[in-house]
Chain A
C-alpha cells in the first residue's frame, strides 16, 4: 500500500488537484470563483499528462550531437509535450471568452452572485 504510494505519487497529487478544481466549480456561488476552479482543473490535467512522460536518467527531447538518436531511452517521451502545448493556449482562449461573458452579466445585473442573479432574472 505504501509502496504503491511511493512509486505513483505524481498521479495521486494531480488527482487531488483535479478534485479541488471540480469541487470549486460545483460548490461555490460566486461566478468568478467557478472560473478559477476551471483553471485549477485544467492545470492539473496538464500536470498529469506531463508527469506520465518522464523517464529516469533521460534528458530533454532535443537531439544532442554527443548522444545521437539511436537509443530511445536517452530522451523523454515527446508526445505528451506536443499535446499539452496546444492545451495551454486553448486554456487562455477559454478564459478570455469566460471573462467576456462575465463582463456582460455584470453590466446587466450589477452582481456576480449566482443566487442573486437568478432572483433578479425572475423579476
Chain B
C-alpha cells in the first residue's frame, strides 16, 4: 500500500512540476493575475469607501456577500461540533450512574 501511494504521489508531483513551467515569473508586475480587476480596486477603493486598508475594503464592502457565506460556513462547523459531542453540563462531578 505504501509503495502504491508513493508511486502515485511521484507521478502527481512530476505532473505538477511539468505544468508549473507556464506560470508567470515570481514578482512580475505585468502577470495576468495582476491586470484585470485588481488595478480597479487599488485605484478606486480609497475614494469610494474612505478606508486605507484595501484588503478590508474588498472583504467587507465589494465582496461582502462572500464573507457572509464564509461566516455561515464557520458557524455550521461549530454547530456540527456541538451536535457531535454535546454541550458541557454545569457541574460534571454530579454525573449519575445508570439506575437499577
Touch test A–B (CB under 8 Å): yes
A contact set with B: CB distance below 8 Å: 4, 7-12, 15-16, 18-19, 22-23, 26-27, 51-56, 58, 61-64, 69-70, 72-73, 75, 77-82, 85-86, 89-90, 93-94, 96-97, 100-101, 103-104
Asked whether A69 and B2 contact (CB < 8 A) given A52-B33, A61-B55, A77-B33, the answer is no
CA separation between A66 and B24, bound complex, in Å?
A: 30
Minimum Cβ distance to chain B for residue A104 (Å): 6
Q: Is the CB of A26 within 8 A of B8?
A: yes
Total of A-B residue pairs, C-beta within 8 Å: 132
Q: Is the CB of B26 within 8 A of A96?
A: no
* Chain B residues touching A, majority SS: helix
User: Given A52-B24, A72-B38, list of 11 further CB < 8 A pairs?
Assistant: A26-B5, A27-B1, A58-B29, A62-B54, A72-B43, A73-B29, A78-B54, A79-B58, A93-B78, A100-B80, A100-B85
Q: Which residues of chain B are within 8 angstroms of A18 by Cβ–Cβ distance?
A: 16
Q: Is the CB of B67 within 8 A of A86?
A: yes
Minimum Cβ distance to chain A for residue B1 (Å): 7
Q: Is the CB of A56 within 8 A of B27?
A: yes
Q: Which residues of chain A are within 8 angstroms of B5 by Cβ–Cβ distance?
A: 23, 26-27
Q: Is the CB of A101 within 8 A of B84?
A: yes
Q: Which residues of chain B are within 8 angstroms of A93 by Cβ–Cβ distance?
A: 73-74, 77-78
Q: Which of B23, B24, B74 contacts A89 (CB 8 A)?
A: B74
By CB atoms of chain A within 10 A, which of B9, B42, B45, B55 has the most?
B42
